[in-house]
Structure 1
Amino acid sequence: MFRRTFWFTAGAAAGVWASHKVNQKLQRLTPESLAAQAADKALDAGHRIKDFALDVRAGMLQREAELDDVLGLNAPPEGPDGLPAARRPALEGERYPVMYRARQKYPEKYPKHPNNRNEDH
């Protein structure tokens, strides 16, 4: 008799445990639960992407500072009054000196007004 009671109790416990596990799995597969799981995973992915972007930004700033030091961009200006030296002016009356020289050499290839809208189209 004790043996039958033991196996009956063991079978009932296994049945309760199995039905509980099946119900848990079914609860996880409901549309609401699947939507909540997807939202949690999306939030987690968003946080990881944000952390990655912050790490990349920090690395960029560090590398930019290193390059500025190497190139001497952080050094004080060398002018007598503390201002950078003036730039060399372009040719008189021309914005683009290279185009000006090419226009002198090849006038048919580089017309005076290349963007004239009154031409035949």
Structure 2
Amino acid sequence: MIRRAFWFTAGAAAGVWATTKVNRQLKKLTPESLAAQAADKAVEAGHRLKEFALDVKAGMTQREEQLNDALGLRQDPDEPALTGNVTALPGPRRTRAVALDPHDQNTHRPNLSYNRNEDH
């Protein structure tokens, strides 16, 4: 009789455990749960992407400093950046220095020549 009670109790416990496991899995597959899981994954992916972008930016800055040092493009902060008849004009991708024509009547307008290959 004790044997039967033991096996009956063991079977009932296994049934309760299996039912609980199945119900948990079914709850994970409800539309609300799937939407919440997808949102969590999207937020996590966004954080990873932001960290990657910050790492790339830091690497670019470090490499730019290395190249500036190697090419001798460092300037003393006390010296003016541009000297002579040169005015800095913002370009589409970088700052361009354009010389002013001293014989031009409009001294505020730089003498620009357009090179279509420069923008590519």
TM-score range, shorter chain: 0.5 to 0.7
Which one has the largest radius of gyration?
A: 1
User: Does the aligned pair in 1 maintain the 2:68–2:74 contact within 8 Å?
Assistant: yes
Task: Kindly provide the CA deviation profile for residues 59-114 of structure 1, in whole angstroms up to 9, marking residues without a partner as x.
Answer: 0000011111111111339x9x9963556777x78855xxxxxxxxxxxxxxxxxx
1:47 maps to amino acid: H
Structure 1 gap ranges (5+): 97-121
Percent of aligned positions that are identical: 61
Q: Distance in 1 between matches of 2:47 and 2:81?
A: 46
2:83 maps to amino acid: P
| Superposed structure 1 runs of 4+ greater than 3 Å apart | 81-90, 92-96
Q: Distance in 1 between matches of 2:18 and 2:66?
A: 62
C-alpha RMSD over aligned residues = 2.7
- Counterpart for residue 28 of structure 1: 28
Task: Give the drift of 1:13.
Answer: 0.1
Change beyond 3 A, Cα 1:95–1:15: closer
Greater fraction helix: 1
Greater fraction strand: 2
Task: Kindly provide the CA deviation profile for residues 38-79 of structure 1, in whole angstroms up to 9, marking residues without a partner as x.
Answer: 0000000000000000000000000011111111111339x9
Give the number of the structure with larger relative contact order, counting CA–CA contacts within 8 Å between residues 6 or more apart: 2
Q: Distance in 2 between matches of 1:18 and 1:35?
A: 26
Change beyond 3 A, Cα 1:9–1:47: same
Change beyond 3 A, Cα 1:3–1:74: same
Look up the SS of the partner of 2:33 in the other structure.
helix
- Counterpart for residue 57 of structure 1: 57
Q: Report the TM-score when normalising by structure 1.
A: 0.65
> Within the alignment, does 1:10 sit opposite 2:28 as a pair?
no
Q: How many residues align?
A: 93
Change beyond 3 A, Cα 1:33–1:83: closer
Q: Distance in 2 between matches of 1:71 and 1:44?
A: 40
Q: Distance in 2 between matches of 1:25 and 1:69?
A: 59
User: Does the aligned pair in 1 maintain the 2:75–2:81 contact within 8 Å?
Assistant: no
